[in-house]
Amino acid sequence: MMTRQLWQRTALLAAALSAAGCGLLDVSNPGPTEDSQLDNPGAVSGIVAGMSAAMSDALNYLIEMDGVVSGELAFSGSFGNFGGVNGIVSPEDENSTWSRVQQARITAEEGITRMQSTLGDGYASSAYAARANVLAGVANRFIGESYCNAVIDGGPLLDRTTAFERAEQYFTDAIAIGTAAGNDDYMMAAYGGRAEVRADLGRWTEAIADAAHVPTEFEYDALFSADNSSLNNAVNYDTHKVYSFTVAGTPRASITNDPRTPWDTVHASDGSVQKGADGVSPVYRQRKYPSLDSPIPLVKGAALRTLEAEAALLNSDVAGAVAAINQERSFYGLSSIHPGISLDSAWALLRNERSAVTWLEGRHLWDESRWFAATGPAHDDFMRDRSLCLPVSQDEIDANPNIP
């Protein structure tokens, strides 16, 4: 379990980031800081920077675990204790990822509570508050989509819908605050995030109404730094520097010309295909994140078009689904799909399109799991004999007396 002191250290460590504009570059350790100093309105930017940093750190772990379990990546590392290599994850495998995703949630939520007190009436129209609520919403969305259960601040095991409901409220607050602040980016990120969790909750009509607020080209990202190792994009590092993960052996390895899922083959000095850190796996290197400071999408309009397509297919509306997919494909410069296809083919198309659009963003496990649970043409069998969600970590189980 994450303590309030750990949240404070995260926020304080990031206090020096705010001068960098995006809030994640040129990191320095501010040294010991009294808790009371965080009650100064001038500390708000640093508090929000801490939320952003915690989110980026969590994504580094979650994307790799999600990717291996759901088949987006194959493990090719030299350390033998990475969980999920066969699609199965144990509580012991989850200790590092769980703690960081929870840290992202608690850092955002505790920061919001502090900002409400510090900013007073100004909180309701603060762009910082809007961003904070977006980050809290995203953190809860990741918990709901990734984990079998939610656990809130040392409480009991809860259904994952609890995380979706919490995310919905944070996104709703972000919409109101972003609107009052006149910040379209945070407002659209919140509409997009709320659309996703409403779809996650099966409230598709409300989800599509929210998605309509977000243009296809919109993207709200988690940020990284090439200048500070603690804020490097680890997906880049682990696929470009140490070859611990590869696209080889995954469904995307057979697709070489999709701009949404770019990868290349690394060759050794003798011209042979480079082997991974395990000395066996061929290195097919993802190119979606080509540098240590490559951003990772948190909310984007192209993904919302695929949700619109899925909503249409749930009503057997093939033409409507293909129209939404073609909006997304046009954005990426891809040719249009003719709407004259069967319902079964349309579902197969939708699964491929959403998998491509959200590739390596920590979203695929949830999609594959719910498609596995679906019946009829929506069903996909890829997740058979694999973990359908990530378990609560062993560390949480051991430390939390409310978990039997």
Please tell me the predicted confidence (pLDDT) of residue 38. Answer: 55
At 285, give phi and psi (nearest 5°).
-95, 125
Residue segments in the chain with a per-residue pLDDT below the cut of 50: 1-34, 36
* Confidence at residue 230, expressed as pLDDT on a 0 to 100 scale: 87
For residue 87, which of 392, 389, 395 has the smallest C-alpha distance? 389
What are the distances in angstroms from CA 146 to CA 94, 219, 330?
11, 21, 30
Position 22 scores a pLDDT of: 39
**pLDDT tens digits, one per residue of 136-189:** 999 999 999 999 999 999 999 999 999 999 999 999 999 999 999 999 999 999
- Contact predicate 17/27, CB 8 Å: yes
DSSP 221: E
Q: How far apart are CA 21 and CA 280, in angstroms?
A: 43
pLDDT for the residue numbered 17: 39
Indicate the pTM of the whole model. Answer: 0.91
Residue reference for tokens 């997740």: 383
Kindly state the DSSP code that residue 275 receives in the 8-state scheme.
B
Predicted pLDDT of residue 229: 87
In which region does residue 249 sit, left (phi positive, over 0), alpha (psi from -120 to 50) or beta (all else)?
left
Q: What is the pLDDT of residues 273-295, one digit of tens each?
A: 999 999 999 999 999 999 999 99
pLDDT at 31: 46
The distance of Cα 8 from the centroid of its chain, to the nearest Å, equals 23
Instruction: Identify the three-state secondary structure at position 313.
Output: helix
Query: What are the structure tokens assigned to 162, written together?
Result: 């609890």
Give the number of other Cβ atoms within 10 Å of residue 398's Cβ: 12
CA distance 196 to 358: 13
Domains and CATH numbers, the chain: 4-224+389-399 (1.25.40.390), 298-377 (no CATH)
pLDDT confidence of residue 176 = 98
Q: Are strands 149-150 and 245-246 parallel, antiparallel or unpaired?
A: unpaired
Q: Which 3 state secondary structure label does DSSP give 205?
A: helix
CB 56 within 8 A of CB 100: no
* pLDDT for the residue numbered 85: 86
CA geometry: angle 129, 132, 136, nearest 5 deg: 140
At 83 the pLDDT is: 79
Provide the H-helix boundaries in 315-399: 318-331, 343-357, 364-373, 394-399
CA distance 219 to 247: 24
The pLDDT score that the predictor gives to residue 7 is 40
Helices (H), 84-223: 95-119, 127-146, 161-181, 184-200, 204-211
Which residues, 6 or more positions from 301, have their beta carbon under 8 angstroms from its beta carbon?
Answer: 192, 214, 215, 216, 217, 218, 219, 331
For tokens 């200790």, name the residue.
95
* Residue from 316, 320, 367 nearest 342 by CA: 316
SS3 state of residue 263: strand
pLDDT score of 157: 98
Q: Distance between alpha carbon 250 and the CA centroid of its chain, in Å? A: 20
For the purposes of burial, counting CB atoms within 10 Å of the CB of 337, is it exposed (0-12), middle (13-18) or buried (19 or more)? middle
